[in-house]
Amino acid sequence: MTATLIDGKAFAAKVREQVAGHVTRLKEEHGITPGLAVVLVGEDPASQVYVRSKGKQTVESGMNSYEHKMDADTSEADLLAVIDQLNNDPAVHGILVQLPLPGHLNEDLIINSIAPEKDVDGFHISNVGLLGTGQKSMVPCTPLGCLMMLRDYHGSISGMNAVVIGRSNIVGKPMAQLLLNDSATVTIAHSRTKDLPGVVKQADIVVAAVGRPEMVPGDWIKEGATVIDVGINRIERDGKNKLVGDVDFESASKVAGAITPVPGGVGPMTIACLLANTVTACCRANGLAEPEGLTA
Ligand code: NAD
């Protein structure tokens, strides 16, 4: 391997430490404890794991964690009533509704019922619009984590060619917007892109967010490029279960200048950024200065 490893696990630990420091200051100097409410509808096993992990890390950073578990057949009206109650609860600074929701619930309607200033996932249409116009917003956690790692590694990414593979609302599109806001020249590639290898080869920065195991081989990568691998794919290899990214780490790490591993890259940064967003939301709600380095 020749590429520098961008260690998301270590970086996330640093972000959590910063968050905990801000929480201590908020408590000691202002008597405020930030609070994050997570709403889980149904019993999707992966979602249960995520929610447990979010709650645990919220408490570890000194914040209050509120969990609302609701049955899989919860009605839209009942879910909206819980969100309304959280919107109006001054002890709750961040609200996250764990996705995906059961099929009978309208995800867009639910997400857009969260008060935008408490929308720590950054999925509310107002936050999407604010980000798109370069205004202060709540920024989706996974792309925010990717941006933090890129800024840390490069200092400035201004003028660099960035290719984002994937155009989802939760990763690809906000990632492209963040890169653009930092003055990169941005291309969004997707399933209909022609000559994807040729497009990726132009990139100084590649962010892969597709959900296809190891689909980006090393020979698509420009020598010295920075590769951020968002993909989390569970595969079976040599009779064992394994997590791999969207990038073929072995071949890509021989060409790239820097690369995030899977696991231990983008993944740990996502929850760390959720905690960061909650502190940011709490500071904004109380008219206090925002924590530096934890926002876009
Ligand atoms: P998604 O399914 O919503 O979007 C995938 C995107 O990939 C689509 O826009 C599609 O156009 C594009 N695509 C599909 N096939 C393609 C192809 N052959 N060539 C080029 N583009 C193609 O997925 P998502 O929610 O954006 O997630 C993407 C990946 O990131 C998944 O593996 C997911 O598990 C992972 N993820 C990780 C984190 C994290 O915390 N690390 C967070 C969110 C998502």
Domain map (residue ranges) of the chain: 30-117, 141-268
Nearest CA to ligand 1 atom 42: 142
Class of domain 141-268: alpha beta
Q: Which of 18, 57, 119, 121 is catalytic?
A: 121
The pLDDT score that the predictor gives to residue 258 is 98
Angle at 112 (CA atoms; ends 110, 113), nearest 5 degrees = 65
pTM score of the predicted model: 0.97
**pLDDT tens, 83-121?**
999 999 999 999 999 999 999 999 999 999 999 999 999
Pairing mode of beta strands 226-229, 205-208 = parallel
Q: Do domains 30-117 and 141-268 have the same CATH topology?
A: yes
Q: In this structure, which amino acid lies at residue 249?
A: F
User: Ligand 1 mean position to 88 CA, how many Å?
Assistant: 34
**Token pair in block for residue 197:** 């290898």
Nearest CA to ligand 1 atom 40: 267
State whether the beta carbon of 232 lies less than 6 angstroms from ligand 1: yes
- Under CATH, domain 30-117 is a member of which superfamily? Leucine Dehydrogenase, chain A, domain 1 (3.40.50.10860)
Identify whether the C-beta of residue 269 lies closer than 8 Å to the C-beta of residue 10. no
**Token pair in block for residue 123:** 């999925």
Backbone angles phi, psi at 179, to 5 degrees: -65, -40
State whether the beta carbon of 190 lies less than 6 angstroms from ligand 1: yes
Please state, rounded to an integer, the average pLDDT across all residues of the chain: 97
Backbone angles phi, psi at 98, to 5 degrees: -65, 130
Active site residue 98: yes
Atom of ligand 1 nearest to the CA of 270: 40
Active site residue 121: yes
Rounded (10°) CA dihedral 261, 266, 268, 272: 150
The pLDDT score that the predictor gives to residue 43 is 94
The pLDDT score that the predictor gives to residue 1 is 62
Nearest CA to ligand 1 atom 34: 232
How far apart CA 15 and CA 275 sit, in angstroms, is 9
* Grouped pLDDT means (10 residues each) for the chain, 296 residues: 94 98 98 98 95 97 98 98 98 98 97 98 98 97 98 98 98 98 98 98 98 98 98 95 97 98 97 98 96 92
How far apart CA 144 and CA 150 sit, in angstroms, is 10
